[in-house]
Amino acid sequence: MKRRKFLKNSSTLTAGMITAPLIASSGSPLKEFRTMNNASKSNIPIAICTWDFGNATAKAWEVLNSGGNSLDAVHQGVMVEEDNLDNQTVGNGGRPDRDGNVTLDACIMDKDANCGAVLALQNIANPISVARKVMEETPHVMLVGKGAEQFAYEQGFERTNLLTEKSKQEWEEWKKTSQYKPIINIENHDTIGMLAIDKNGDIAGACTTSGMAYKMAGRVGDSPIIGAGLFVDNEVGGATATGVGEEVVRTVGSFLIVELMRQGKSPQEACEEGVKRIIAKNKDKQDFQIGFIAINKNGETGAYCIHPGFTYRTYTQEGHVNNPSGSYLES
- Between CA 8 and CA 17 the distance in angstroms is 15
Among residues 191, 240, 251, 314, the one annotated as catalytic is 191
Positive or negative, the Cα torsion across 259, 328, 242, 49? positive
Cβ 104 to ligand SD4 shortest distance, Å: 10
- Residue whose C-alpha is closest to residue 85's, from 198, 210, 217: 210
Residue 123 engages ligand SD4 in binding (rule: CB under 6 A):
no
Which of 91, 93, 94, 243 binds ligand SD4 (CB under 6 A)? It is 243
Which of 245, 253, 299, 302 binds ligand SD4 (CB under 6 A)? It is 245
- Between CA 115 and CA 240 the distance in angstroms is 14
Residue 209 engages ligand SD4 in binding (rule: CB under 6 A):
yes
Residue 45 engages ligand SD4 in binding (rule: CB under 6 A):
no
Cβ 89 to ligand SD4 shortest distance, Å: 7
Q: How far is CA 48 from CA 188, 191, 310, 321, in A?
A: 16, 13, 14, 9
Stretch that binds ligand SD4, among 71-79, 129-137, 215-223, 306-314 (CB under 6 A): 215-223
Cβ 132 to ligand SD4 shortest distance, Å: 20
Residue 223 engages ligand SD4 in binding (rule: CB under 6 A):
yes
Cβ 47 to ligand SD4 shortest distance, Å: 19
- Between CA 223 and CA 247 the distance in angstroms is 11
Which of 69, 84, 164, 191 binds ligand SD4 (CB under 6 A)? It is 191
Give catalytic status of residue 191 as yes or no.
yes
Residue 211 engages ligand SD4 in binding (rule: CB under 6 A):
yes
Residue 127 engages ligand SD4 in binding (rule: CB under 6 A):
no
Angle, to 10 degrees, between the axis of helix 127-137 and the axis of helix 3-25?
Answer: 90
Residue 222 engages ligand SD4 in binding (rule: CB under 6 A):
yes
- Between CA 184 and CA 115 the distance in angstroms is 30
Cβ atoms of residues 278 and 290 within 8 Å: yes
Give the residue with the Cβ less far from ligand SD4, 52 or 235.
52
Binding mask 132-171 for ligand SD4 (x = CB under 6 A): ----------------------------------------
Residue 212 engages ligand SD4 in binding (rule: CB under 6 A):
yes
- Between CA 101 and CA 214 the distance in angstroms is 9
φ/ψ region of 218 (left if φ > 0, alpha if ψ in -120 to 50, else beta) reads: left
- Residue whose C-alpha is closest to residue 222's, from 114, 130, 80, 117: 117
Give me the residues that bind ligand SD4 (CB under 6 A), please. 190-191, 209, 211-212, 221-223, 242-245
Catalytic residue numbers, as ranges: 191
